Structure 1
Amino acid sequence: MSSPLLSAAQIGRKIEHHWIWQHLDFELFPGERLAIIGPSGVGKSLLLRAIAGLDALQAGQLTFHGQPLSGFSMPEYRAQVIYLHQRPALLEGTVVFNLQQVYQLAIHHPKAYNQEQILEYLWPLGRQLEFLHHSVNNLSGGEAQIVACLRALQLSPQVLLLDEPTASMDESTAQQIEVLVNQWQQEDSSRCCIWTSHNVKQLQRVTDRSLTLTRKPQ
């Protein structure tokens, strides 16, 4: 069996003096699609943020390719483990401007914007070249999430963290996001994704197994 791409050993997160979760262990292997499930307020988003290196842990250790996160620079790590928020922040301007600007970050050199790749992602979604020239101010919430997803996927991360990415979308647009992520993962069998969603049927479609978080007693 292959080695885990990402693993957690006895990790814990607390706010003030209250543990949200602790003694948490899991492993994510190449090609896996993992769901994080549990009731609202149990800390699913906090777990994704910790995995992304956005929030500090108060206990335990995360490792990536067998190395503690402390062994990576955060830009280096976040280029490989990308967090997709349910309310993405886009820059003023067009869709293509948002897709191109990420390559201005030093960590993504010498990668470059590849319009052909983007069009291949857009085609199954029923969108063409003209979509790239739309102003982000005129996009629906679902379209803005598609842009954020494209912006992440074009960077070829190894792990994609999807935090309620289709919340408040209609079913058709939500399934377009699912198609997009699935297409990205099929390009490289080692790529992984971790989903949170309140839509149980969606999680059954897009993930292979689950990690359940339970509410800690006060």
Structure 2
Amino acid sequence: MTDNVFELSGVTHARQGREVLHDINLCLARGRPVCLVGASGSGKTSFLRLLNRLETPAEGRILFDGKPIEDYPVRRLRTQVGFAFQTPAMFDGTVHDNLAAAVRFSKGKSAQDDHERMLRALELAELSGDYLERPADQLSGGEKQRVALARTLMTDPAVLLLDEPTSALDPDSGARLINTLKKLSDAGMTIIMSTHRLGETEALQADVVEFDAGRVVTHKTAKERNVD
């Protein structure tokens, strides 16, 4: 196992004929939180989508745990590299149904529900067990974001990708979510998230990668930022 969870070399990516990432050369350390910052359209979301093969680069190489990312079966990769989207989409039914869907994704359609795992995932997302029977479509925005996080945690990912997870939340809900992510990071999970809120980089004690027009313009560890 290498010290870097992801290594990108010469990665360029285009969408609908327009280049959205250009010549990305970057190593992301295992177990350290990383915040991606930059203006809207600078390439942060496109970068995240490459890391669990929602999209494929036009050029360059991406290594995950020292192996080419394309060598991993997609389902296995997405079990290890979870993605919490900016706008959480709930499946029909209850919170239980949403968490069960993650189990079936990782273990197959015949997988049995794991009630204890569901309770652990909810606890990590700072939700109580009585949420299991709540209709998912009746949750608040903050609750949906936490259920989406719990659903992602059901597969025990080593890496958690998040695309501006607090953008639609009020300040209190956003702060609570960041506190949850800090606890997951402290427990050893690699957190990689995009954000427009620079205070979140401080709260997470995160390394920061700044994007501008599809290029990485700075990459500083938390220690380097503290020196500055």
TM-score band, normalised by shorter chain: 0.7 to 0.9
Aligned partner of residue 213 in structure 1, secondary structure: strand
Structure 1 CA distance for aligned equivalents of residues 68 and 106 of structure 2: 23
Structure 2 length normalisation: TM-score?
0.84
Deviations 1:38-74 (A, max 9, x none): 1111111111111121011011011111110121111
Structure 2 contact 11–62 (Cα < 8 Å) conserved: yes
The residue number in structure 2 matching 1:196 is 194
Structure 2 contact 21–46 (Cα < 8 Å) conserved: no
The residue number in structure 2 matching 1:130 is 130
Aligned residues: 212
The residue number in structure 1 matching 2:121 is 118
Does 2:86 correspond to 1:74?
A: no
Structure 1 CA distance for aligned equivalents of residues 185 and 90 of structure 2: 24
The residue number in structure 1 matching 2:218 is none
**Structure 2: gaps spanning 5 or more residues:** 216-228
Does 2:7 correspond to 1:41?
A: no
Structure 2 contact 90–137 (Cα < 8 Å) conserved: no
Instruction: State the shift of 1:178 in Å.
Output: 1.4
Structure 1 contact 12–22 (Cα < 8 Å) conserved: yes
Letter in 2 for 1:156: D
The residue number in structure 1 matching 2:159 is 159
**Structure 1: gaps spanning 5 or more residues:** none
Deviations 1:182-209 (A, max 9, x none): 222333x2x2111111111112212421
Pairwise CA RMSD of aligned residues? Answer: 2.3
Structure 2 contact 162–192 (Cα < 8 Å) conserved: yes
Structure 2 CA distance for aligned equivalents of residues 15 and 53 of structure 1: 14
Instruction: State the shift of 1:106 in Å.
Output: 5.0
Aligned partner of residue 117 in structure 1, secondary structure: helix
Runs of 4+ in 1 over 3 A off after TM superposition: 106-113
Letter in 1 for 2:59: A
Structure 1 length normalisation: TM-score?
0.88
Q: What's the % identity of the aligned pairs? A: 24
Q: Pick closer, same or farther for the CA change 1:119–1:37 going to 2, 3 Å.
A: closer
Letter in 2 for 1:118: A
Instruction: State the shift of 1:115 in Å.
Output: 3.8
